[in-house]
Chain A
Amino acid sequence: MRPIEIITQLLDLAAALVAAPLFVGWINQCRAWLQNRSAPSIWLPYRGIRKLFHKDAVIATRASALFRLAPYIVFGAMVLAAGIIPSMGTRLPVTRIADAIALVGLLATARVFMSLAAMDVGTAFGTLGARREMMVGFLAEPALLMVIFVASLISASTALPAITEHLATQTLGLYPSLAFTAVAFTMVLLAENARIPIDNPATHLELTMIHEALLLEYSARHLALMEWAAALKLFNYACIGFALFIPWGVSTVQGGPLALLASIPVLAAKLIAAGGVLALIETVSAKVRVFRAPEFLATAFLFAVLGLLVHLLLGA
């Protein structure tokens, strides 16, 4: 392991941990502007997390050890996921232990633990949230894997850095298959991160909530970890999107420390743009009923399949 690899890895992890809440804050700001509200501070998610860490944890009397363990596992899974996704450089030593399929498995692990923890206390909302979360999960996972399959068929590898490396060093060609899968991926991103057409991060309305219903019993440090993990998840998804569809600007195998340094502002620019787009999507679309979620995700799956067929037919 060369020093540059370790530096890339640590930078990757640190960027994720630091930038994830900021990214959420930025999206909230953009949303507020687009909706003619005065925007909250971009630092608000940080303050929320800090405040929660200081509070006393209140745990339901019936909760088992699983309930207290789950936030740590979910957070750990998201941090490891951040370490696997090449957001700035492709020389990540950790990626050898988990390729893109294992990354999807890692996200599934987090989801399962979150759902189990929600069922642990045995309230109506917990089980309801778990059921809906697992429903969205099993619909979104195939679509996500199809997206990854297309990218790995193009680059003959399932390792994310190799995919990014391949796509980033390619002469700027047009991949029609990737255009289809990009649409599919965006839809999966919205659904998996509890964003608007599927879930609304801003409300606790009983009939519709998914993600918030899972967290209803959590408080203090456990809630802080869950919130942070949710922010990391959004950040991770965004970075998967960058790695697959706009990989330019990351420091590749040839790049030295300077290229790595240069990739930091590139990532920031990508995040700023992505946050704006996400806020725009959320502002112009309405939340669908829970029963319509399968249709939404089936559409995403269809787009991914179309991308795959286009790839197989055109070879691009």
Chain B
Amino acid sequence: MTSALHSPLNACLAILVLWGAIGLAGLLRPTSLRFVARSLFPLSALASLMLAAVAAWSLGVAPERAILAIGLPDLPMHLRRDALSGVFLFLLGAASAGISVFAAGYFRRGHGTSAGLLCLQYHLFLASMGLVMLADDAYAFMVSWETMALSSYFLVTTQHGLPDIRRAGFLYLLIAHVGAIAILLAFGVMQGGSWQFTFDAMRGARLPAPWAAAAFLLALFGFGAKAGLVPLHVWLPEAHPAAPSPVSALMSGVMLKTAVYGALRVTFDLLGQPVWWWGVVALAVGLFTALYGVVFAAAQSDMKRLLAYSSIENIGLIFTAFGLAIVFRGVGMSMLAALALIALLYHSLNHAFMKSLLFLGTGAVLHSTGERSLGRLGGLIHRMPWVAWLTLVGALALAGLPPLNGFVSEWLLLQAFLFAHEVPHTFVNMLLPMAAAVVVLAAALAAYVMVKFFGVIFLGQPREPGLAGAHDAGVLQRLGLAWLAAGCVALGLFPTQIINGLRGVVKQLSGADLPGQTAPWWLLEPIPGRQASYSALGFLLAVTAIVLLTIVGVRLFYHRRVRRADPWDCGFARLDARMQDTAEGFGQPIRHIFGQFFLLRRELPTPFDRAPRYRVLVGDRIWERLYGPLGGLVQRIADRFAWVQQGRIATYLLYSFVTLVALLALVL
């Protein structure tokens, strides 16, 4: 037993099994919320912490394998743990620790799935994500991938009494499976005629260039469907609001990263030597996704839809870094590829923390007020100070402001772009700085989105009288939020240490090591001699020192007298909460500037309306441009073949017979 625990792989497996056991334990007393939420979920959070610790420890340990004799005869599950899986396991453990603690205080007696079943689905979801990161053959990978999709589908449809939620769940399931087919096909291509589906065989296979490209594109499509790359993003804004908040947090913060993991695994590990133009494809898709996501986020008025679109943006940024890394690797500039990969992994980690934090914050607000629409919130910083201030950390981090973590990955990505002028393809060389401009635009818009998100929910006056009764989150919920907020701060303040931890992975993927750190420990200087450095800690200390000096100075030289009075009403003495910007109002400049992106439907009042109403619906053009025609096409094809369906058993038996004969003829 003790020797088994010396190997990180076994320790990881033990934790996954523990998760499974916790899930099953929920079935013992499925209706006891007290048992499930207050005992099992905190236990699960401890397991998450252990996983994070084991994964962090495993980064420095050589890769190891295991074969589990589970599954079909002669088709055991191959498992392998290396540095890449270590990073993503760390992400899974660290983020889910906070989410599980929060969930312990979150679940209430509701109408949907019973607590015990929910517990089973939740932990199956966690364990399958862990297994995805450990799988070392296509079979194990696909089984855990599908378990992940199914368990999360059931979690999304917790409130399955509502038709909207069933519809959202179906859409999610559909796109997840379209993606899974593409991934399966990619594995089919990558086995390269050997019919061996272990990842080792795929690493060894030498694919002709067109087949390698086909495998890459299939994998990009398949993992893109899970990650939410445009135009496969349509499920995210539907599924995230439908799911309970901890599940949204888990899906957005962690599950989207399994797709990033898959894309990295296939491109840099299994295919081995990526070609530079693959990177251009990924870069273009990623950039478009980033811009599309953030523009739509700015126009949303449902807080969870807003966050879902913001996740699309962040996935776009991650795939931009992915594309950049491929371009650099393809043209043989391994060191810059390493830098881009660091930015990618760093942003994945950051996003896991900050987006989970924000989703949990919306969960606390939702519980306290029963409102998801931004137009009916406001002023909650007075009623829910804990949630408000902790959410502010996440919002500032997501806005990419120093010294928090969002800025670090953005900074690294921009540095990678800035060194790109040495790429030997002139055209790519020209386009990369433009790409950097789009990244900057997306990042700047993210700040806009976050000001809207935080400002409309927590600041200003309450827009509904019912908000006066809002109460702050409970202790467990605060603990979960605080854990994630602390993660955002720590990832922001200690970039050098984090990057040192990521060194091994990056070396494994890009084939090159970043040059050794020559700067002191508090200074981030990714490529020495380039004179580009940043120190979050110094930054924070400097700003804090100046702020404190100013406060002390003002107190010392002047006074600290304060009077409270009504706000300035410009002489119009009936200022009320309805005169603040609504969420729609705050998004108005975006709708104005990026009008082409949206499908806008406005209902304007006429001057003679007794009860004037203004309504604006912001739709996604992808639906009418792509999915509408696609659905019509499928319908037409189905109609064409409808005659096959006769409804008589004799006919169907005939079909089977003919098929059998045809197959026999083919085989013999």
Contact = CB atoms under 8 A, between A and B. Distances in A.
Contacts of A111: 447
A33 B629 CA distance: 65
Interface string B536-549: 00110011101100
Given A112-B396, A159-B533, A312-B430, A56 B561 contact: yes
B565 A60 contact: yes
Contacts of A115: 451, 455
Nearest to A122: B460
A85 interface: no
A280 interface: no
A110 B392 CA distance: 15
A102 B402 contact: yes
A162 interface: yes
Contacts of B562: 56-59
Contacts of B429: 312
A162 to B, nearest CB: 4
Contacts of A61: 564-567
Interface string A62-83: 1010100000110111011001
A294 to B, nearest CB: 5
Contact of B459 (A120, A141, A305): A120
Select the residue from A60, A75, A112, A141 with max chain B CB neighbours within 10 A.
A112
Contacts, number: 240
B586 A158 contact: no
Given A112-B396, A130-B451, A83 B415 contact: no
A217 B228 CA distance: 42
B575 A123 contact: yes
B436 interface: yes
B401 A101 contact: no
B433 A128 contact: no
Contacts of B39: none
B445 A116 contact: no
Interface in B82-129: none
Contacts of B392: 66
Nearest to A69: B547
B530 interface: yes
A149 interface: yes
Select the residue from A83, A301, A308 with max chain B CB neighbours within 10 A.
A308
B546 A123 contact: no
Select the residue from A58, A80, A122, A141 with max chain B CB neighbours within 10 A.
A122
Contact of B444 (A58, A108, A158, A225): A108
B80 interface: no
Interface in A266-316: 291, 294, 301, 305, 308-309, 312
Interface in A23-80: 53-54, 56-62, 64, 66, 72-73, 75-77, 79-80
A149 B579 contact: no
Contacts of B592: 291, 294
Nearest to A312: B430
Interface string B246-288: 0000000000000000000000000000000000000000000
Contacts of B378: 122
Given A83-B542, A138-B448, A60 B564 contact: yes
Given A97-B538, A156-B530, A108 B433 contact: no
A116 B455 contact: yes
A125 B572 CA distance: 13
B373 interface: no
Interface in A183-206: 206
B450 interface: yes
A112 B543 contact: no
Contacts of B534: 97-99, 101-102
Interface in B46-101: none
A135 interface: yes
Interface stretch (B14-22, B343-351, B550-558, B632-640): B550-558
A128 B579 CA distance: 10
A146 interface: yes
A58 B452 CA distance: 26
B402 A58 contact: no
Contact of A101 (B411, B447, B542): B411
B399 interface: yes
B546 A79 contact: yes
A75 B553 CA distance: 13
A3 to B, nearest CB: 20
Given A80-B542, A124-B579, A159-B532, A141 B460 contact: no
Nearest to B590: A135
Contacts of A64: 381-382, 459
A62 B557 CA distance: 28
B454 A116 contact: yes
B568 A123 contact: yes
Contacts of B533: 96-97, 99, 159
B459 A119 contact: yes
A208 interface: no
A221 B563 contact: no
Contacts of A62: 379, 382, 461, 567
A216 interface: yes
A80 B589 contact: no
Given A109-B402, A294-B593, A312-B433, A58 B563 contact: yes
A4 interface: no
A312 B454 CA distance: 40
Contacts of B445: 138
A131 B460 CA distance: 14
Interface in A149-182: 149, 152-153, 156-159, 162
B350 to A, nearest CB: 14
A252 interface: no
A225 B382 CA distance: 25
A122 B461 contact: yes
A106 B402 contact: yes
A111 B450 CA distance: 12
Given A108-B447, A146-B437, A157 B531 contact: yes
A241 interface: no
B414 interface: yes
Nearest to B294: A138
A128 B460 CA distance: 12
Nearest to B532: A158
Contacts of A59: 562-565
A96 B535 contact: yes
B619 to A, nearest CB: 22
A127 B551 contact: no
Contacts of B450: 112
B463 to A, nearest CB: 9
A309 B579 CA distance: 46
Going nearest first, the 10 A-B pairs with the smallest beta carbon separation are A122-B460, A97-B538, A127-B581, A122-B461, A119-B455, A157-B531, A138-B444, A97-B535, A60-B567, A76-B546
15 contacts: A57-B563, A61-B564, A75-B550, A79-B550, A98-B402, A98-B538, A105-B411, A123-B567, A131-B589, A141-B443, A142-B437, A152-B418, A217-B567, A312-B421, A312-B429
Interface of B: 378-379, 381-382, 392, 396, 399-402, 407, 411, 414-415, 418, 421, 429-430, 433-434, 436-437, 440-441, 443-445, 447-448, 450-452, 454-456, 459-461, 523, 530-535, 538-539, 542-544, 546-547, 550-551, 554, 557-559, 561-570, 575, 577, 579-581, 585-586, 588-590, 592-593
Given A122-B378, A122-B379, A142-B440, 6 more contacts: A56-B562, A96-B533, A97-B535, A128-B581, A153-B418, A217-B568
